[in-house]
Structure 1
Protein backbone atom coordinates (compact mmCIF):
# COMPACT_ATOMS: atom_id res chain seq x y z
CA UNK A 1 0.00 0.00 0.00
CA UNK A 2 1.22 3.49 -0.82
CA UNK A 3 2.15 5.74 2.08
CA UNK A 4 1.23 9.34 2.74
CA UNK A 5 4.28 11.29 3.85
CA UNK A 6 4.18 14.70 5.49
CA UNK A 7 7.30 16.75 4.80
CA UNK A 8 7.40 20.09 6.56
CA UNK A 9 9.89 22.70 7.62
CA UNK A 10 9.54 24.19 11.09
CA UNK A 11 11.40 26.63 13.28
CA UNK A 12 12.94 25.33 16.50
CA UNK A 13 9.85 26.58 18.32
CA UNK A 14 7.58 24.55 16.03
CA UNK A 15 6.28 27.23 13.67
CA UNK A 16 5.33 26.25 10.14
CA UNK A 17 5.23 29.88 9.02
CA UNK A 18 6.08 33.21 10.59
CA UNK A 19 3.58 35.55 12.27
CA UNK A 20 3.09 37.35 8.95
CA UNK A 21 2.72 34.06 7.06
CA UNK A 22 6.25 34.42 5.73
CA UNK A 23 8.68 31.64 4.96
CA UNK A 24 11.76 33.83 4.50
CA UNK A 25 13.41 32.12 7.49
CA UNK A 26 13.73 28.79 5.63
CA UNK A 27 17.38 27.86 5.09
CA UNK A 28 17.07 25.97 1.82
CA UNK A 29 20.48 25.75 0.18
CA UNK A 30 21.52 23.48 -2.71
CA UNK A 31 22.24 20.53 -0.39
CA UNK A 32 18.81 20.66 1.24
CA UNK A 33 17.00 21.36 -2.03
CA UNK A 34 18.73 18.38 -3.65
CA UNK A 35 17.58 16.24 -0.73
CA UNK A 36 13.99 17.49 -1.18
CA UNK A 37 14.19 16.63 -4.88
CA UNK A 38 15.44 13.13 -4.07
CA UNK A 39 12.55 12.63 -1.62
CA UNK A 40 9.87 13.99 -3.97
CA UNK A 41 11.03 12.63 -7.32
CA UNK A 42 9.30 9.25 -6.96
CA UNK A 43 6.04 10.48 -5.48
CA UNK A 44 2.91 9.46 -7.33
CA UNK A 45 1.04 12.60 -6.20
CA UNK A 46 1.33 15.83 -4.26
CA UNK A 47 -1.64 16.26 -1.90
CA UNK A 48 -2.11 19.97 -1.25
CA UNK A 49 -4.49 22.54 0.13
CA UNK A 50 -5.59 25.38 -2.14
CA UNK A 51 -3.29 28.04 -0.67
CA UNK A 52 -0.22 25.79 -0.87
CA UNK A 53 -1.11 24.76 -4.42
CA UNK A 54 -1.61 28.33 -5.61
CA UNK A 55 1.72 29.45 -4.07
CA UNK A 56 3.59 26.57 -5.67
CA UNK A 57 1.80 26.95 -9.02
CA UNK A 58 2.96 30.57 -9.26
CA UNK A 59 6.64 29.66 -9.00
CA UNK A 60 7.45 26.15 -10.11
CA UNK A 61 5.88 25.43 -13.52
CA UNK A 62 8.58 27.38 -15.38
CA UNK A 63 11.26 27.99 -12.73
CA UNK A 64 13.76 26.07 -14.85
CA UNK A 65 13.48 28.80 -17.52
CA UNK A 66 14.64 31.42 -15.01
CA UNK A 67 18.41 31.90 -15.35
CA UNK A 68 18.64 32.81 -11.66
CA UNK A 69 17.34 29.37 -10.60
CA UNK A 70 19.93 27.09 -9.05
CA UNK A 71 20.44 23.59 -10.44
CA UNK A 72 18.27 21.97 -7.74
CA UNK A 73 15.55 24.60 -8.23
CA UNK A 74 15.48 23.97 -11.98
CA UNK A 75 15.35 20.24 -11.33
CA UNK A 76 12.40 20.66 -8.98
CA UNK A 77 10.50 22.57 -11.68
CA UNK A 78 10.49 19.37 -13.74
CA UNK A 79 9.44 17.27 -10.75
CA UNK A 80 6.60 19.72 -10.08
CA UNK A 81 5.35 19.59 -13.66
CA UNK A 82 5.52 15.79 -13.91
CA UNK A 83 3.87 14.92 -10.60
CA UNK A 84 0.06 14.81 -10.46
CA UNK A 85 -1.51 17.01 -7.80
CA UNK A 86 -4.65 16.53 -5.75
CA UNK A 87 -5.85 19.88 -4.44
CA UNK A 88 -8.25 19.92 -1.51
CA UNK A 89 -10.47 22.98 -1.82
CA UNK A 90 -14.04 24.00 -1.26
CA UNK A 91 -13.64 27.12 -3.44
CA UNK A 92 -11.72 25.98 -6.53
CA UNK A 93 -13.77 24.52 -9.35
CA UNK A 94 -10.67 23.34 -11.15
CA UNK A 95 -6.92 23.67 -10.97
CA UNK A 96 -4.17 23.25 -13.55
CA UNK A 97 -4.12 20.49 -16.16
CA UNK A 98 -2.11 18.21 -13.87
CA UNK A 99 -4.35 18.71 -10.83
CA UNK A 100 -7.56 17.17 -9.55
CA UNK A 101 -9.75 19.04 -7.07
CA UNK A 102 -11.29 17.19 -4.12
CA UNK A 103 -13.80 19.04 -1.94
CA UNK A 104 -13.02 17.38 1.37
CA UNK A 105 -10.84 14.83 3.10
CA UNK A 106 -12.95 11.70 2.78
CA UNK A 107 -11.10 8.95 4.66
CA UNK A 108 -12.52 6.16 2.46
CA UNK A 109 -11.49 7.99 -0.73
CA UNK A 110 -8.01 8.57 0.70
CA UNK A 111 -7.67 4.90 1.68
CA UNK A 112 -8.67 3.98 -1.87
CA UNK A 113 -5.91 6.28 -3.19
CA UNK A 114 -3.44 4.53 -0.88
CA UNK A 115 -4.47 1.12 -2.21
CA UNK A 116 -3.75 2.05 -5.82
CA UNK A 117 -0.43 1.01 -7.33
CA UNK A 118 2.38 3.53 -7.61
CA UNK A 119 4.73 5.55 -5.47
CA UNK A 120 4.04 7.16 -2.14
CA UNK A 121 2.20 10.48 -1.88
CA UNK A 122 3.47 13.69 -0.33
CA UNK A 123 1.14 15.88 1.70
CA UNK A 124 1.88 19.57 2.15
CA UNK A 125 0.32 22.28 4.27
CA UNK A 126 -0.44 22.43 7.97
CA UNK A 127 -4.22 22.73 7.68
CA UNK A 128 -4.53 19.81 5.28
CA UNK A 129 -2.13 17.73 7.37
CA UNK A 130 -4.31 18.40 10.44
CA UNK A 131 -7.36 17.05 8.64
CA UNK A 132 -5.42 13.95 7.55
CA UNK A 133 -4.13 13.49 11.11
CA UNK A 134 -7.70 13.56 12.45
CA UNK A 135 -8.33 10.40 10.40
CA UNK A 136 -4.89 8.82 11.05
CA UNK A 137 -4.02 8.93 7.34
CA UNK A 138 -0.37 10.04 7.60
CA UNK A 139 2.16 7.21 7.55
CA UNK A 140 5.42 9.13 7.87
CA UNK A 141 6.51 12.50 9.19
CA UNK A 142 9.64 14.18 7.83
CA UNK A 143 10.08 17.31 9.88
CA UNK A 144 12.93 19.63 8.93
CA UNK A 145 13.88 21.75 11.94
CA UNK A 146 15.54 25.02 10.92
CA UNK A 147 17.94 26.65 13.40
CA UNK A 148 15.82 29.71 14.12
CA UNK A 149 13.37 30.69 16.86
CA UNK A 150 10.53 32.78 15.44
CA UNK A 151 8.81 33.61 18.71
CA UNK A 152 5.44 33.83 16.96
CA UNK A 153 3.86 32.14 14.00
CA UNK A 154 1.51 29.37 13.01
CA UNK A 155 2.43 26.02 14.55
CA UNK A 156 2.72 22.96 12.35
CA UNK A 157 0.56 21.01 14.79
CA UNK A 158 -2.34 22.78 16.46
CA UNK A 159 -3.21 21.77 20.02
CA UNK A 160 -5.11 18.49 20.11
CA UNK A 161 -6.24 15.83 22.55
CA UNK A 162 -5.17 13.12 20.10
CA UNK A 163 -1.94 11.39 21.06
CA UNK A 164 -0.08 9.63 18.26
CA UNK A 165 2.91 7.41 19.07
CA UNK A 166 5.59 7.46 16.41
CA UNK A 167 8.75 5.44 15.79
CA UNK A 168 12.00 7.21 14.95
CA UNK A 169 13.11 6.09 11.48
CA UNK A 170 16.18 8.30 11.27
CA UNK A 171 17.78 11.69 11.55
CA UNK A 172 20.07 13.71 9.34
CA UNK A 173 21.92 16.96 9.92
CA UNK A 174 22.55 19.18 6.91
CA UNK A 175 25.51 21.51 6.54
CA UNK A 176 23.36 24.60 7.07
CA UNK A 177 22.19 23.37 10.50
CA UNK A 178 18.78 22.04 9.43
CA UNK A 179 17.98 18.71 11.11
CA UNK A 180 15.63 16.12 9.61
CA UNK A 181 13.56 14.16 12.12
CA UNK A 182 11.99 11.19 10.30
CA UNK A 183 9.22 9.30 12.07
CA UNK A 184 6.90 6.49 11.05
CA UNK A 185 3.42 5.83 12.42
CA UNK A 186 3.10 2.79 14.64
Structure 2
Protein backbone atom coordinates (compact mmCIF):
# COMPACT_ATOMS: atom_id res chain seq x y z
CA UNK A 1 0.00 0.00 0.00
CA UNK A 2 1.27 3.45 -0.89
CA UNK A 3 1.77 6.40 1.42
CA UNK A 4 0.91 9.96 0.50
CA UNK A 5 3.98 12.12 1.00
CA UNK A 6 4.08 15.88 0.63
CA UNK A 7 7.56 17.01 -0.32
CA UNK A 8 8.60 20.63 -0.74
CA UNK A 9 11.55 22.98 -0.45
CA UNK A 10 11.12 26.04 1.76
CA UNK A 11 13.17 28.97 2.91
CA UNK A 12 14.05 29.15 6.60
CA UNK A 13 11.33 31.77 7.00
CA UNK A 14 8.71 29.37 5.61
CA UNK A 15 8.18 30.39 1.98
CA UNK A 16 8.12 27.98 -0.96
CA UNK A 17 8.43 30.73 -3.55
CA UNK A 18 9.26 34.40 -3.59
CA UNK A 19 6.76 37.21 -4.24
CA UNK A 20 7.28 36.92 -8.00
CA UNK A 21 7.06 33.08 -7.90
CA UNK A 22 10.85 32.82 -8.01
CA UNK A 23 12.61 29.73 -6.69
CA UNK A 24 16.12 30.73 -7.71
CA UNK A 25 17.12 30.61 -4.03
CA UNK A 26 16.80 26.78 -3.97
CA UNK A 27 20.19 25.20 -3.25
CA UNK A 28 19.87 21.98 -5.23
CA UNK A 29 23.42 20.73 -5.70
CA UNK A 30 24.51 17.30 -6.92
CA UNK A 31 24.22 15.66 -3.47
CA UNK A 32 20.68 16.88 -2.88
CA UNK A 33 19.61 16.13 -6.45
CA UNK A 34 20.99 12.58 -6.16
CA UNK A 35 19.04 12.18 -2.91
CA UNK A 36 15.82 13.25 -4.68
CA UNK A 37 16.54 10.93 -7.61
CA UNK A 38 17.21 7.91 -5.38
CA UNK A 39 14.07 8.47 -3.32
CA UNK A 40 11.73 9.41 -6.15
CA UNK A 41 12.87 6.56 -8.39
CA UNK A 42 11.21 4.22 -5.85
CA UNK A 43 7.94 6.18 -5.76
CA UNK A 44 4.67 4.77 -7.02
CA UNK A 45 3.42 7.96 -8.67
CA UNK A 46 3.71 11.72 -8.69
CA UNK A 47 0.55 13.64 -7.78
CA UNK A 48 0.90 17.16 -9.12
CA UNK A 49 -1.22 20.24 -9.23
CA UNK A 50 -1.59 21.97 -12.58
CA UNK A 51 1.07 24.60 -11.95
CA UNK A 52 3.65 22.09 -10.71
CA UNK A 53 2.83 19.73 -13.57
CA UNK A 54 3.21 22.46 -16.18
CA UNK A 55 6.52 23.62 -14.68
CA UNK A 56 7.88 20.07 -14.61
CA UNK A 57 6.55 19.23 -18.09
CA UNK A 58 8.06 22.43 -19.43
CA UNK A 59 11.60 21.27 -18.70
CA UNK A 60 12.16 17.68 -17.59
CA UNK A 61 11.07 15.81 -20.74
CA UNK A 62 13.80 17.67 -22.68
CA UNK A 63 16.45 17.82 -19.95
CA UNK A 64 17.91 14.47 -20.96
CA UNK A 65 18.85 15.96 -24.34
CA UNK A 66 20.18 19.25 -22.96
CA UNK A 67 23.98 19.32 -23.36
CA UNK A 68 24.20 21.71 -20.39
CA UNK A 69 22.32 19.28 -18.08
CA UNK A 70 24.42 17.44 -15.53
CA UNK A 71 24.32 13.63 -15.31
CA UNK A 72 22.17 13.82 -12.18
CA UNK A 73 19.72 16.12 -13.97
CA UNK A 74 19.58 13.78 -16.96
CA UNK A 75 18.89 10.93 -14.54
CA UNK A 76 16.00 12.85 -12.98
CA UNK A 77 14.64 13.56 -16.44
CA UNK A 78 14.23 9.80 -16.95
CA UNK A 79 12.73 9.39 -13.47
CA UNK A 80 10.13 12.11 -14.10
CA UNK A 81 9.18 11.04 -17.62
CA UNK A 82 8.87 7.34 -16.71
CA UNK A 83 7.00 7.82 -13.42
CA UNK A 84 3.19 7.51 -13.51
CA UNK A 85 1.71 10.93 -12.83
CA UNK A 86 -1.70 12.24 -11.92
CA UNK A 87 -2.15 15.92 -12.70
CA UNK A 88 -5.04 17.50 -10.83
CA UNK A 89 -6.59 20.18 -13.01
CA UNK A 90 -9.90 21.38 -14.34
CA UNK A 91 -8.23 22.95 -17.38
CA UNK A 92 -5.50 20.57 -18.58
CA UNK A 93 -6.23 18.44 -21.62
CA UNK A 94 -7.23 14.95 -20.53
CA UNK A 95 -4.75 13.54 -23.04
CA UNK A 96 -1.71 14.72 -21.09
CA UNK A 97 1.67 13.30 -22.08
CA UNK A 98 4.56 11.66 -20.33
CA UNK A 99 2.74 8.88 -18.52
CA UNK A 100 0.19 11.32 -17.10
CA UNK A 101 -3.53 11.11 -16.47
CA UNK A 102 -5.64 14.10 -15.48
CA UNK A 103 -8.03 13.99 -12.56
CA UNK A 104 -10.40 16.91 -12.18
CA UNK A 105 -10.84 16.79 -8.39
CA UNK A 106 -9.24 15.45 -5.23
CA UNK A 107 -11.73 12.78 -4.20
CA UNK A 108 -11.11 10.99 -0.90
CA UNK A 109 -12.44 7.62 -2.09
CA UNK A 110 -10.42 7.72 -5.31
CA UNK A 111 -7.25 8.67 -3.42
CA UNK A 112 -7.75 5.92 -0.84
CA UNK A 113 -8.30 3.39 -3.66
CA UNK A 114 -5.13 4.65 -5.35
CA UNK A 115 -3.19 4.14 -2.10
CA UNK A 116 -4.49 0.58 -1.82
CA UNK A 117 -3.36 -0.42 -5.29
CA UNK A 118 0.00 1.42 -5.34
CA UNK A 119 3.37 0.24 -4.11
CA UNK A 120 5.68 3.08 -3.18
CA UNK A 121 5.14 6.66 -2.18
CA UNK A 122 2.50 8.83 -3.82
CA UNK A 123 4.42 12.09 -3.87
CA UNK A 124 2.33 15.26 -3.74
CA UNK A 125 3.92 18.17 -5.57
CA UNK A 126 2.62 21.68 -5.07
CA UNK A 127 1.38 23.44 -1.95
CA UNK A 128 -2.11 24.16 -3.30
CA UNK A 129 -2.67 20.48 -4.06
CA UNK A 130 -1.17 19.54 -0.70
CA UNK A 131 -3.63 21.90 1.03
CA UNK A 132 -6.50 20.04 -0.67
CA UNK A 133 -5.06 16.72 0.50
CA UNK A 134 -4.48 18.05 4.02
CA UNK A 135 -8.05 19.38 4.23
CA UNK A 136 -9.21 15.80 3.63
CA UNK A 137 -6.62 14.46 6.13
CA UNK A 138 -4.92 12.40 3.40
CA UNK A 139 -1.22 13.20 3.93
CA UNK A 140 0.74 10.45 5.68
CA UNK A 141 4.19 12.06 5.64
CA UNK A 142 5.79 15.46 5.21
CA UNK A 143 9.29 15.86 3.78
CA UNK A 144 10.23 19.49 4.23
CA UNK A 145 13.59 20.56 2.80
CA UNK A 146 14.62 23.74 4.61
CA UNK A 147 17.08 25.85 2.62
CA UNK A 148 19.46 28.12 4.54
CA UNK A 149 18.13 31.40 3.23
CA UNK A 150 15.69 34.04 4.40
CA UNK A 151 13.77 35.46 1.45
CA UNK A 152 11.68 37.89 3.47
CA UNK A 153 8.38 37.49 1.68
CA UNK A 154 6.55 35.26 -0.74
CA UNK A 155 3.97 32.48 -0.51
CA UNK A 156 4.00 30.53 2.75
CA UNK A 157 4.12 26.77 2.39
CA UNK A 158 1.15 26.14 4.67
CA UNK A 159 -2.11 28.06 4.45
CA UNK A 160 -3.87 29.33 7.52
CA UNK A 161 -6.22 26.69 8.89
CA UNK A 162 -8.06 25.74 12.06
CA UNK A 163 -7.02 22.09 11.69
CA UNK A 164 -4.38 20.63 13.98
CA UNK A 165 -2.38 17.65 12.74
CA UNK A 166 -0.09 15.97 15.26
CA UNK A 167 3.11 14.66 13.69
CA UNK A 168 6.02 12.47 14.78
CA UNK A 169 9.59 13.18 13.73
CA UNK A 170 10.69 10.28 11.50
CA UNK A 171 14.15 11.61 10.77
CA UNK A 172 16.39 14.45 9.75
CA UNK A 173 19.26 14.78 7.35
CA UNK A 174 21.68 17.62 6.81
CA UNK A 175 23.17 18.03 3.35
CA UNK A 176 26.58 19.55 2.62
CA UNK A 177 25.00 22.69 1.16
CA UNK A 178 23.19 23.43 4.44
CA UNK A 179 19.75 22.15 3.40
CA UNK A 180 18.06 20.19 6.17
CA UNK A 181 15.41 17.55 5.56
CA UNK A 182 12.72 17.43 8.24
CA UNK A 183 10.80 14.18 7.78
CA UNK A 184 7.55 13.84 9.73
CA UNK A 185 4.88 11.14 9.83
CA UNK A 186 1.36 11.32 11.15
CA UNK A 187 1.34 10.70 14.90
Q: TM-score range by the shorter chain?
A: over 0.9
Counterpart in the other structure of 1:151? 152
Deviation at 1:114, TM superposition (A): 0.4
Secondary structure of the structure 2 residue equivalent to 1:170: strand
Counterpart in the other structure of 1:168? 169
Unaligned segments of structure 1, at least 5 residues: none
TM-score, reference length from structure 1: 0.98
Q: Does 1:46 align with 2:46?
A: yes
Aligned length: 186
Counterpart in the other structure of 2:69? 69
* 8 A Cα contact 2:33 2:72, kept in partner: yes
Distance in 2, matches of 1:61 and 1:97, equals 8
* 8 A Cα contact 2:82 2:98, kept in partner: no
Distance in 2, matches of 1:142 and 1:120, equals 12
Q: Does 1:184 align with 2:166?
A: no
Q: After TM superposition, where is structure 1 displaced by more than 4 Å over at least 4 residues in a row?
A: none
Deviation at 1:92, TM superposition (A): 1.4
Distance in 2, matches of 1:35 and 1:97, equals 23
Deviation at 1:101, TM superposition (A): 0.5
Deviation at 1:117, TM superposition (A): 3.7
Q: Does 1:133 align with 2:117?
A: no
Distance in 1, matches of 2:92 and 2:67, equals 32
* 8 A Cα contact 2:27 2:179, kept in partner: yes
Distance in 2, matches of 1:169 and 1:66, equals 37
Counterpart in the other structure of 1:27? 27
RMSD in angstroms over aligned alpha carbons?
0.8
